[in-house]
Each structure stands twice: as structure tokens, then as C-alpha cells.
């Protein structure tokens, strides 16, 4: 079995792993370059986004992988923000399908997504398309930085719209939960907090209503999924990392972050490690906006 076609592992109540075949999570730069030269190249999506940086489209125009289509995370990969849904609620399936067709996504054609931030934003598109039933969607391992490091070509400007796609999306391909479900997961399973450790501890909170973390959640910063060059750590290293957090013994694993974006990256890393995980899309932005929900500060769950 390839490292990119991991076994998806669930644990029974006794901690015994139950394994089923998973799907490919990443595509290497070498593989992508070959695919783009093939008769049927993949749909290539550029999800240039970072918290506090509204200039993703300009960054894309300045230089992107040839053939890539720009995807706006705030407007195409999320519904409008709300107190209940958080800063990046899941988009309506009809809206996501319309966007995917604008990007040129077609039935049976693979999709590769990337950003310029270690795939911490691109993973949102990866997760949404997997959730909506697109089986062949992968992350470019190392993101745009790996493409640059390989000395491969970039193009500038904003190309014309691609030929419209015909993909039909259906929800339910990946598990999701709400705030009540996240609270229950923290008590009976394993709930991972993918934010930076200082936000988990409540020492800083730059964007959301309150500082701290969900009671019972375990700190697992997304950045620790990556090596220094921005590629994912090996499946063995990731499995060791998440097993140390309790994933090997938990019956169910859930993930949240600030607004459901970098948590998707954590789910990709968990998939590489062989674990299936549930996303809490509202994440801390929704939890902290509800005054009834408790918040914990400090380094302990």
C-alpha cells in the first residue's frame, strides 16, 4: 500500500484498530508536472489565502502554476460568517457545486489543490470536495513552495475562465459535527485543537470573541504536521504524533481550529497517518461566540 493511500483506522471501544482502505491524500511536484503534460491533466486549484491577508487574487496573478484556477476561500469555500456558524461556515452544497463547475471540475477528472502556505488553506478545498463526494482530489505536497524549489515554471496574470464543469456534488463523504458533538467528542473520544499552542492556552486571541479552548480538547498545532520545507511529515511520523495525542486509543477523533480551515489540514494529516477524523466547521469562532459555552485556559485539556 502506498503511503498516500493510507489505511483509515477507527478504534473499537477496546482500542483495537479496525482498518479499511483509504484514498490518496497528496500528489508530489514530480507527479503533478507529469500529469500536466498528459492528455487529461487534472483540474488545478490555487487557494491563495492567509488570515489577515485579503490579497489572495493579487498573489495568484503575480505567479501561479500554469493552468491553475484561482479559488476564493472566503466567498467560494465558505458561507457568510455568523455567530452560530463561525467565521467560515460550510457553503451550501448548491453554491459549492456552482463554484466547482466554474473551476472546471468534471465527473471522473482528478483535482489537485495547493496554496502558498503549506496547504493549510488549500486543505479547506480538499476537505470540501471530499465531503461532497469528489474521490480523486489531492493536495500538492509542499504546496507552491515545492513547485518553486523544483525550478518549475510559473505564469502570471489572470487567465480566462476554464470550460465549465459538470460535477454533481453530494454531501456526506466526510463526517462533520456541531458544537454539541464537539463537546461530546472531547468527553468520550479525542478532540484535537489545531490552532497555535498560545491560542489554545488562551494567552492570545487575535480574532475570536474569547480566548481559551474547548474543555477536554487536546492541543495539536497544525504546523507540526509539516517538515521545514512545507511537505507533510511521513505517515509513520504523523502516526506517532497522533498516537501520542491519544488517537490510537480513541473510538472517535474530531478536529477544530479557529474557523474550520486549518482543521481540514489536520484531517489530511490524520488521513496520512491512517486515522479518520470529524470536522467541527464552526470551530472556536462559533464556540467562543456562544456565551453559554465554557472556555478553558492553560496547557491542560
Are 54 and 127 within one domain?
yes
Residues 141 and 224 grouped into a single domain: no
User: What pLDDT does residue 112 have?
Assistant: 98
Bridging pattern class, strands 253-256 and 111-114: unpaired
Predicted pLDDT at 22: 58
Q: Which residues of 221-241 are buried (b: 16+ CB within 10 A; e: fewer)?
A: bbeebbeeebbbbebebbbeb
Q: Is residue 266 a part of any domain in this protein?
A: yes
Q: Is there a single domain that holds both residue 123 and residue 80?
A: yes
Q: Are residues 29 and 101 in the same domain?
A: yes
Does the pLDDT at position 18 exceed 50? no
Are both 187 and 279 inside the same structural domain? Answer: yes
Which of 140, 159, 158 lies closest to 150, judged by CA? 140
Same domain, 144 and 194: no
What domain range is 241 assigned to?
Answer: 179-287
146 vs 2, which has greater pLDDT? 146
Catalytic residue among 25, 217, 253, 257: 257
What's the CA gap between 211 and 244, in Å, rounded?
Answer: 25
pLDDT at residue 28 in the model: 98
- Tally the domains of the chain: 2
Query: Residue 204 in 3-state DSSP?
Result: coil
| 27, 97: one domain | yes
Q: For residues 225 and 233, is the Cβ–Cβ distance under 8 A?
A: yes
List, for residues 210-263, the tens digit of each pLDDT value. Answer: 999 999 999 999 999 999 999 999 999 999 999 999 999 999 999 999 999 999
Is 16 inside a domain boundary? no
Within a domain: 296: no
CB half-sphere exposure, 206, CA atoms < 13 A: 8
Catalytic-residue membership of 63? no
- Secondary structure (3-state) at 110: coil
pLDDT for 172: 96
Residue 300 lies inside a defined structural domain of this protein:
no
Strands 137-140 and 253-256: what pairing? unpaired
Name the domain boundary from 149, 164, 195: 149
The domain that holds 280 is classified in CATH as 3.40.250.10
Amino acid at each position: 500500500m502506498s503511503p498516500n493511500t493510507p489505511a483509515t483506522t477507527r478504534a473499537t471501544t477496546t482500542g483495537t484498530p479496525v482498518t479499511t482502505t483509504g484514498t490518496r491524500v497528496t500528489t508530489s511536484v514530480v507527479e503533478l508536472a507529469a500529469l500536466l503534460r498528459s492528455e487529461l491533466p487534472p483540474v488545478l486549484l490555487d487557494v491563495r489565502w492567509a488570515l489577515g491577508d485579503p490579497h489572495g487574487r493579487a498573489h495568484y496573478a503575480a505567479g501561479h502554476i500554469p493552468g491553475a484556477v484561482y479559488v476564493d476561500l472566503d466567498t467560494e469555500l465558505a458561507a457568510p460568517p455568523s455567530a452560530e456558524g463561525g467565521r467560515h461556515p460550510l457553503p451550501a452544497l448548491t453554491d459549492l457545486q456552482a463554484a466547482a463547475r466554474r473551476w472546471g471540475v468534471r465527473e471522473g477528472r482528478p483535482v489537485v489543490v495547493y496554496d502558498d502556505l503549506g496547504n493549510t488553506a488549500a486543505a479547506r478545498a480538499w476537505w470540501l470536495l471530499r465531503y461532497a463526494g469528489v474521490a480523486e482530489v489531492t493536495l500538492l505536497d509542499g504546496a507552491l513552495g515545492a513547485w518553486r524549489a523544483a525550478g518549475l515554471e510559473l505564469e502570471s496574470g489572470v487567465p480566462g475562465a476554464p470550460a465549465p464543469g459538470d460535477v454533481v456534488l453530494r454531501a456526506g463523504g466526510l463526517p462533520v459535527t456541531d458544537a454539541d458533538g464537539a463537546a461530546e467528542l472531547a468527553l468520550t473520544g479525542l478532540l484535537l485543537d489545531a490552532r497555535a499552542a498560545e491560542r489554545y492556552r488562551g494567552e492570545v486571541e487575535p480574532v475570536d470573541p474569547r480566548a481559551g479552548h474547548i474543555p477536554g480538547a487536546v492541543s495539536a498545532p497544525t504546523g507540526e504536521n509539516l517538515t521545514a520545507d512545507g511537505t507533510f511529515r511521513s505517515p509513520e511520523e504523523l502516526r506517532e504524533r497522533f498516537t501520542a495525542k491519544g488517537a490510537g486509543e480513541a473510538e472517535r477523533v474530531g478536529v477544530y481550529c479557529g474557523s474550520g480551515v486549518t482543521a481540514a489540514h489536520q484531517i489530511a494529516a490524520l488521513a496520512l497517518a491512517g486515522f479518520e477524523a470529524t470536522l467541527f466547521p464552526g470551530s472556536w469562532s462559533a464556540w467562543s461566540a456562544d456565551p453559554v459555552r465554557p472556555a478553558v485556559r492553560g496547557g491542560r485539556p
